[in-house]
Amino acid sequence: MNPPGPLLAVRGLSKVFGGICAIDNLDMELARGQCLGIIGPNGAGKTALINVISGFYRADAGQLYFGGRELSQMKLHQIGRLGIARTYQNIRVFRRMTVLENVLVGVRGHARQPLRSFLDWRARKAERDNALALLRRFKLVERADVAAGTLAYGEARRLEIARALATRPRLLLLDEPAAGMNEEETGRLVEDIRACRDLIEGMILIEHDMSLITALAERVVAMDNGRKIAEGSADAVLGDDRVREAYLGIE
């Protein structure tokens, strides 16, 4: 049974790099079943926040609670095994491996008994079936046996999300998934993300493309210079004077 309260709670979080405060005393929550959009100009601290939540960086102050458990002192692999997965601004796929093998890396990389999984043919078949089911959701199953390096840009983006979901996360962190996509590819991505919402308990979406934010995020946080400057529905945040000035360049 899940404990009461938010899936993720950020309390007074701060992160400093070389005297520059990338995250400055940030408070926010992600409710269960919610997609939280995070927007802001370049350098606002959005990716730094994702890196702290996922364990790539250690916070300098504040606390992170995931499902009621405090994450601040946990290592990267411990946080991953709790059920937090992410994608990156720059696509990271194993280009020489097949599309299916890329997803299987996600499955086996988080197996609690990887050796047993490797030796047990039943476990291997279950892994393959699960990986193919994910590829089917992202309309990549017909490309399962081709090298990942041959995928079109939008397909590679979808593969990266499928691989993250292969770890069976509770929380999925998407860092600018629509970056570099055209309008058609972005529309397809919206459909694919909606179709996978039943696999996770919550999602944090960093994105500059406001069409993605308004289509997917039930709640939005706007950041500038490491601080939260607005929070609420997409319409309310995008209409906030501070956001228009900081992010949209409108005084």
CATH number at residue 68: 3.40.50.300
- Please report whether residue 3 resides in a domain: no
Rg (C-alpha) for the chain, rounded Å, is 18
Q: What share of the chain is helix, strand, coil (3-state, %, to 5)?
A: 40, 25, 35
pLDDT at residue 108, as a whole number: 59
pLDDT band at 63 (very low <50, low <70, confident <90, very high): very high
Residue 1 belongs to a domain: no
Categorize the per-residue pLDDT at 106 as very low, low, confident or very high, splitting at 50, 70 and 90: confident
Domain containing 200 equals 8-211+219-246
Q: How confident is the model at residue 110 (pLDDT cuts 50, 70, 90)?
A: very low
d(CA 67, CA 82): 9
**Total domain count for the chain?**
1
Q: What percent of the chain has pLDDT over 90?
A: 67
Give 176-205 pLDDT, tens digit per residue. Answer: 999 888 888 899 999 999 988 999 999 999
pLDDT of residue 139: 92
* pLDDT at residue 248, rounded to an integer: 60
pTM, rounded to two decimals: 0.89
Q: Nearest CA to 54 among 213, 167, 182, 149? A: 167
For residues 218 and 38, the answer to whether their CB atoms sit within 8 Å is no
Look at residue 2 and tell me if it is in a domain: no
Residue pLDDT, tens place only, 10-38: 999 999 998 889 999 999 999 999 999 99
The answer to whether residue 83 is domain-embedded is yes
Pairing of strands 20-30, 61-66: unpaired
- Please answer whether residues 174 and 166 qualify as being in contact, where contact means their C-beta atoms are separated by less than 8 angstroms: no
